[in-house]
Each structure stands twice: as C-alpha cells, then as structure tokens.
Amino acid sequence: MRGFAITHIFADGVVMSDSKFMSSPIKVVAEANEDFIRQSNKTLDKNFLQREALQKKWQRAEERKALLIQEQIETRKKLQELEEERI
C-alpha cells in the first residue's frame, strides 16, 4: 500500500509539508490578507455588496454632515461680523 503525503498550500504561495505545518504555530494577519478576505466575502456572502454600499453611503453622509457643520460655523461667524458692523 502506498502512503500519501499531505501538502499545505497557502494563499500567499507558501508550501509546507504536513509535519512542518503541524509542528509550527501559524500566525494569520488579517490586514495582510485583506484583499483575499474581501474577495472571499464578496463571493460567498450574497448581501456583502449591499452592506458595503450602505457602509459607503453612511461614510459619505458623515463626511457631508461634518462639512455642513463647518459651513454653519463659518456662516454664524460672518453673520456675527455683519451684526457688529451694523451696530
């Protein structure tokens, strides 16, 4: 009977024998695999694109809110200056 060798191939191209894989601790850094994780989520999760679009929409709304608050502060300052000139 012939034995089979188990080989582990990782997404970053690392190839490791089963004995080495089982003997060494593996650290997974999510930030290094962000593109792979995003692509996997996009492929496997049917609601991923809707959630991502909603998240971007909220982000744009927060940016717009901050801009409007800044404009409101500037407008109040100008209004105060005009009021002071009028007096």
Does 57 have pLDDT greater than 90?
Answer: yes
pTM greater than the 0.75 cutoff = no
pLDDT of residue 53 exceeding 70: yes
Taking Cα atoms as reference points, which of 46, 28, 24 lies closest to residue 36?
28
What does the alpha-carbon distance between residue 20 and residue 7 come to, in Å, rounded to a whole number?
A: 10
- Among 7-11, 25-29, 42-46, the range scoring the smallest mean pLDDT is 25-29
- pLDDT above 50: residue 1: no
CB 35 within 8 A of CB 45: no
What are the sequence ranges of the domains in the chain?
1-44, 47-87
